[in-house]
């Protein structure tokens, strides 16, 4: 199903929750989990530091960027050491990657089509070296592989919901849900928001529901009402078909649903 799991680390509660999901999936699938921490190069620029010094009221001096780089690199080492220790304790194959640059670019550069990227939905650290709030959105849009976005709340994945519209990516999401459900001993539910009845397409063992209304609202309502643990959605980047991904549906759902979302490419 996946070759590796890449998980973004910034030390925030949501990123550690992403790590927990990565360890669970990595252990069940017997694949490596790679922890990635990126020091954002933008917060090390002298011009930015001079400006923020004035705002925050501390003294700026030439060369402060090098001091901050040393500090962030030390913090990165501690963070990744903790990640590696936790993974080994859980019996998971773990490795790490640390770099400096634009976080989304570094994450995207490490991913292959056969990988799975896990990211926290938001970062609670405004200057953490890994500005995960915007990074998550960009990576979710541009990654060549599936991306799983998780909130701070952790839950056991037993009820997997697929936003299904009959498209090739929706079918791929359904197959991925079936494979994950088999590994996690869960159940698969397919939801179509529209006038068509697609129950004949989802196959045996999948509980199908047809809803009418605004897709993003109905998907969120259904997942909350039926206590779903994971939502899988196909991600479209172009075409005449109404976009789940770059359009309003996925963006709205990703930011308003309090369960993990797996975007399938």
pLDDT in tens, 82-131: 999 999 999 999 999 999 899 999 999 999 999 999 999 864 443 333 33
Alpha carbon dihedral 164, 165, 166, 169, in 10-degree steps, equals: -70
CB 262 within 8 A of CB 233: yes
Options 3.20.20.140, 3.40.50.620, 3.40.50.1950, 3.30.530.20; which CATH number does 5-150 get? Answer: 3.40.50.620
Tell me the average pLDDT across 211-219.
94
Backbone conformation region of residue 190, classed left if phi is above 0, alpha if psi is from -120 to 50, else beta: beta
Tell me the average pLDDT across 164-186.
96
162 vs 147: CA distance, rounded Å: 15
* Residue ranges of domains in the chain: 5-150, 159-264
22 vs 18: CA distance, rounded Å: 6
* Segments in 63-214 forming alpha helices (H): 64-89, 103-110, 132-142, 168-184
Residue 237: its pLDDT value, please?
A: 43
Six-digit token pair at 206?
């999948």
* 3-state SS class at 185: coil
Residue 174: its pLDDT value, please?
A: 97
Return all residues near 33 (Cβ < 8 A) that are at least 6 apart: 4, 5, 7, 22, 23, 26, 87, 92, 93, 94, 95
Tell me the average pLDDT across 32-57.
68
Residues 58-90 pLDDT 10s: 554 555 566 667 778 888 999 999 999 999 999
Q: CB neighbours (10 Å) of residue 164?
A: 28
Backbone conformation region of residue 7, classed left if phi is above 0, alpha if psi is from -120 to 50, else beta: beta
Q: Does the fold of domain 159-264 match that of domain 5-150?
A: yes
Given a cut of 70, is residue 46 above it in pLDDT?
no
Q: Residue 24: which pLDDT band, with cuts at 50, 70 and 90?
A: very high
Q: Which residue has the higher pLDDT, 243 or 223?
A: 223
Report the percent of the chain where pLDDT is more than 70.
Answer: 81
Flag the least confident range among 14-28, 36-50, 96-110, 156-170: 36-50
CB 36 within 8 A of CB 9: yes
> pTM value?
0.85
CB 104 within 8 A of CB 138: yes
Six-digit token pair at 86?
């936790």
Cα–Cα nearest to 169, from 249, 56, 108, 93? 249
Mean pLDDT of the chain, nearest integer: 85
Q: Which residue has the higher pLDDT, 173 or 46?
A: 173
Report the percent of the chain where pLDDT is more than 90.
Answer: 65
Domain 159-264 has CATH 2.40.30.10: no
Residues 237-255 pLDDT 10s: 444 344 444 445 887 888 8
Alpha-carbon separation of residue 78 from 71, 99, 102, 133 (angstroms): 11, 14, 21, 22
């Amino acid at each position: 199903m996946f070759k590796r799991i890449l998980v973004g680390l910034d030390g925030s509660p949501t990123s550690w929750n992403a790590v927990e999901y990565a360890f669970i999936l990595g252990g069940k699938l017997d694949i490596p989990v790679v922890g990635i921490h990126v020091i954002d190069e933008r917060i090390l620029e002298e011009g930015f530091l001079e400006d923020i010094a004035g705002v925050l009221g501390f003294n700026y001096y030439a060369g402060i960027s090098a001091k901050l780089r040393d500090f962030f690199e030390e913090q990165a080492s501690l963070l990744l050491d903790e990640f590696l220790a936790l993974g080994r304790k859980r019996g998971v194959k773990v490795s790490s990657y640390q770099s400096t640059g634009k976080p989304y670019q570094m994450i995207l550069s490490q991913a292959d089509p056969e990988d799975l990227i896990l990211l926290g939905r938001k970062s609670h650290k405004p200057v953490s070296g890994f500005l995960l709030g915007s990074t998550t959105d960009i990576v979710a849009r541009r990654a060549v592989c599936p991306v799983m976005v998780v909130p701070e709340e952790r839950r056991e994945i037993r009820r997997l919901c697929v936003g299904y519209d009959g498209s090739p990516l929706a079918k791929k999401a359904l197959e991925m849900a079936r494979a994950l459900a088999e590994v996690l001993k869960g159940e698969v539910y397919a939801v179509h928001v529209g006038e068509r009845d697609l129950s004949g397409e989802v196959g045996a063992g999948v509980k199908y529901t047809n809803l009418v209304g605004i897709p993003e609202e109905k998907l969120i309502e259904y997942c909350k009402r039926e206590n779903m643990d994971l939502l899988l959605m196909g991600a479209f980047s172009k075409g005449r078909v109404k976009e789940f991904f770059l359009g309003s549906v996925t963006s709205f759902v990703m930011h308003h649903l309090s369960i993990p979302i797996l975007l399938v490419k």
